Amino acid sequence: MLKDHYGFTLHHLVMERQTDDKVAVAIAQGAKDTGLVILPKKGRLSTTEQKIEQSEEFVEARRKHSAVESSINALENHGLDRCLDHGLHGFKRYVALTVLARNIQIMGHLIQQQELK
């Protein structure tokens, strides 16, 4: 799921005939190319690893990861917790409509905030 700085979902993906590991490898490679892997290491950390995990960039990236988890939860609250449609095509339509519903809610919240100002 790709989001902009306002919180709108710009891109989503329904994995079809793919497993997480194939998609996750591409995502991990992209994160590695940008220079920051946000998964904290388990166990005892060396001093350099501690400095990395306490850096501002690492903490900000962890917050963004939490935001993705929050977005998934919000989609579940907007209808994606169960799909009443049948088949893969119906499921993809359901996911797209749920993303649209979430974007409409975000837009309404932004309009409310502007009116309050």
Q: Tell the residue number behind the tokens 């329904």, with chain if given.
A: 14
Instruction: Write the CA distances from 81 to 15, 60, 77, integer angstroms.
Output: 17, 28, 7
Q: Would you say 54 and 40 are in contact if contact means Cβ atoms under 8 Å apart?
A: no
- pLDDT score recorded for residue 33: 61
pLDDT digits (tens, 9 = 90+) for 8-36: 877 777 778 777 666 666 665 665 565 56
Q: Would you say 78 and 105 are in contact if contact means Cβ atoms under 8 Å apart?
A: yes
Q: What is the pTM of this model?
A: 0.55
Residue ranges with strand state E in the chain: 2-3, 9-11
Per-domain residue ranges of the chain: 2-116
| Nearest-angstrom CA–CA distance, 3 and 23 | 18
Q: Tell the residue number behind the tokens 């939860």, with chain if given.
A: 73
Asked if residue 98 has pLDDT above 70, the reply is yes
Asked if residue 96 has pLDDT above 80, the reply is yes
- Which has the higher per-residue pLDDT, 26 or 83? 83
Q: How many residues are there in the chain?
A: 117
- pLDDT score recorded for residue 6: 78
- pLDDT score recorded for residue 39: 64
- Specify which residues 2 forms β-bridges with: 11
- pLDDT score recorded for residue 56: 84
